[in-house]
Amino acid sequence: MISATAEHAVRAVLFLARHDSNRALSVDAIAAELGAPRNYLAKTLNALAKAGIVHSARGAAGGFTLAIPPESLTLARVISPFDDHARTPACLLKNRACDPLNPCGVHARWTAIVGHAASQFEKTTVADLLRDTQIEAPRPFVRPPVLLGENAEPRRQMFA
C-alpha cells in the first residue's frame, strides 16, 4: 500500500537506526546494504533530509544519520514525503476522486482499508519495527530419535 520509493525510505531509515548514530553512513554503503540503486536512493535520502527526518553532511566523513530518535519517528512521518495517505483516494470503479456523498460499490470497504493502513503508519515507530526484529530466531529443527522397539535405545536417523 505504499510506493516503492516510500518502502526504500523506510528500509534506509531502519538501516540508519540500527547503526551508531554518531557515525554518518554514505549513500554508497546504504545502497549496497539495501540493494537499491545509488542515485535513486540518494534522491530518496535527500527528500528525507529536506523533511527533517535525516541529517546529511557532505565531505569525506559525510553521509546520513537519523535526525529524530527511532522511538518518536513514526512510519507515517517517514513515508509522508513520498505517499500522501491523507488525500482523497481515487474511486476504484470510476475515473474520478472518491465521493462519499455519491459512493461507488466498494467505497465503504476501501475507505476502511486505507484508513486502517494510515492508522497503523501513524502509531508504529521505527523503534517498534526494530524491537520486532530482536525476537529470538527459531531454533533449527532437530529430527526426534527413532525408537526400535519397546526397550530399545533411541537411535538417530542417519539422514535428515
Dist. CA 2–CA 91, nearest whole Å: 17
Q: Is the pLDDT of residue 32 over 90?
A: yes
Categorize the per-residue pLDDT at 49 as very low, low, confident or very high, splitting at 50, 70 and 90: very high
More confident residue, 93 or 11: 11
CA 83 to chain centre: 14
For residue 144, name the pLDDT band (cuts at 50, 70, 90). Answer: low
pLDDT number for residue 148: 56
Residues contacting residue 73 through CB under 8 Å, at least 6 positions apart: 13, 17, 53, 66, 125, 126, 127
Give the C-alpha separation, 26 to 64, whole Å.
6
Query: If pLDDT is split at 50, 70 and 90, which confidence band does 160 have?
Result: very low
127 vs 2 pLDDT, higher one: 127
Grid look-up 503508519 returns 121
pTM over 0.85: no
Beta-sheet pairing, 54-57 with 63-66: antiparallel
HEC-encoded secondary structure of 50-104: HCCCEEEECCCCCEEEECCCCCCCEHHHHHCCCCCCCCCCECCCCCCECCCCCCC
Q: Where are the domains of the chain?
A: 4-133
pLDDT for the residue 138: 45
pLDDT in tens, 79-138: 999 986 556 667 888 777 777 788 888 888 888 888 888 889 999 999 999 987 664 444
pLDDT at 33: 92
Matching CATH number, 4-133, of 3.40.50.300, 1.20.58.1000, 1.10.10.10, 3.40.1350.10: 1.10.10.10
Of all residues in the chain, what percent carry a pLDDT higher than 70?
76
